[in-house]
Structures are given as structure tokens and as C-alpha cells.
Amino acid sequence: MNVEELKNDLKFLANFEHANNLQWFFKTGKGQYGEGDVFIGVKVPQIRKVAKRYINLSLLEIKKLLYSRIHEERLCGFLIMVDKFTKSSDTEKKKIFDFYIKNARRANNWDLVDLSCHKIVGEYLLKRDKKILYKFAVSKNLWQRRISVISTFYFIKNKKYKDSFKLAKILMDDKHDLIHKAVGWMLREVGNRNLFEEEKFLKKYYKKMPRTMLRYAIEKFEENKRIAYLKNKI
């Protein structure tokens, strides 16, 4: 099995009516965050099945997918990396982590980030130096900034919240809505596991948070409390 066979498998599953919907949903128009991205209309569960069949592709072959202009081919490359990482030795995991970091800019839409980074970057860094996340958090590249905070989802699942909060503070003044949503989502995930810790953070910073970030963070609060936060009455 090789990259060309994988691409043919994806093309066989293509649905161009669905592709048109995806072009709109992922904001591929001029000046939008996904400008120029090309979809062929393959659904994520289908891509996952293809990825599992090609788990033995080398990183060099996966790189060809990551640099494809077709969104589903890039996503398939990242999903293969996730599958390989899960089944790899510690030595191989480091190679995959390093490869991911080197090619992180190719995760250039939010689903590519969200379906991969916490499962590779987050898991690898759980008990290691996390300085790369702080470097990414101040990057000019939108996707590296999103990777920085979404990677902490793996930490949150392991009840470690410190880095999520520290990165939230760094990203609080970010201008992009996709970062506001990402940070709010991670704060909500903290609250799903430890509401006290989330609220301790929110009570200190909620008044300066972008509205979208706050809305995402308090989405599962009971209604009266949610309204109180939104009206600055906590």
C-alpha cells in the first residue's frame, strides 16, 4: 500500500455535494481562515477507516499527505500519525512527536488540530517539558496557537490543569475567534472534572475574557449562574 493508493481510496469515497457544504463550513473563501482549502467531500468516519488501513506508511510518505492541497488527504495523514503513535514504542513516539511539531503548520484548519494534537503532542508532553506549547502560544500562526491550548486536553483528562490555565492567560488577548473558542472549550473541560478549579480561574479573569471564550467556558453551568457571569455579577 502506498500514498497513491490511499488517495485513490479517498477519491472513490468523494461526494462533491458534501464537498460544497464543507467548503462553506470550514470558511475557505477569500480572507477567511481556511482560504484556499480544497475538499472532496469524504466524511471523517470514512477517513478514519482509510487511515487504519494505511498505518504502516512511513513518516516520509505521510509528509506527502500533509502537504496535499486536499483537506481530507491532510486529515488522513494526521489520523495515521495518531494511530501509529498509539501503537509505537517510546522511541518511535518521540520521532512522531518531533515530526508533528516540525509539520504543525500543515494542521491548517481547526479539525486537523482538534483530532490530532492532544493525542500526540499532549500525550507525549504529559510528563515532559512543555516549553514548545508556550512557544506556539505566541506564534503568529493561528494553528500553532490553537495546538498550544488544545494539546492540554490530554493533561486535563489526567486531572492536570495548570498549563491550561497558564496558556489561557497568554491567549486571553488573542484576536481570533477560533482561539477564543478553543480556550473556552478547554476551560469547560476543566470544569467538567473540577468545577472548583475552573471557577477559581473564571472569577479572577472572566471580566476581561472575550465574550465567546466566556460563553464556551460556562456553557454547562446552570442558567442563573451562567447569566450572572455574562452580566458581570459574580
pLDDT digits (tens, 9 = 90+) for 22-65: 888 888 888 889 888 999 999 999 999 999 999 999 999 999 99
Whole-number pLDDT of residue 220: 94
Q: Quick check: 103 pLDDT over 90?
A: yes
Beta bridge partners of residue 38, listed in sequence order? 70
Q: How confident is the model at residue 13 (pLDDT cuts 50, 70, 90)?
A: very high
**C-alpha to C-alpha distance for 156 and 154, rounded to whole angstroms:** 5
- Sequence-distant (6+) residues with CB within 8 A of 103 are 63, 66
Q: Which residues have a Cβ under 8 Å from the Cβ of 126 and sit 6 or more positions away? A: 154, 155, 158, 160
- Are 1-115 and 118-234 the same fold in CATH? yes
| Contact yes or no for 204/217 (Cβ under 8 A) | no
CATH architecture of the region 1-115: Alpha Horseshoe (1.25)
CATH of domain 118-234: 1.25.10.90
Domain boundaries, given as residue ranges, for the chain: 1-115, 118-234
pLDDT by residue (tens digit) across 115-166?
999 999 999 999 999 999 999 999 999 999 999 999 999 999 999 999 999 9
Q: What is the reported pLDDT for 29?
A: 87
Do 133 and 152 meet the contact criterion of CB atoms below 8 Å apart? yes
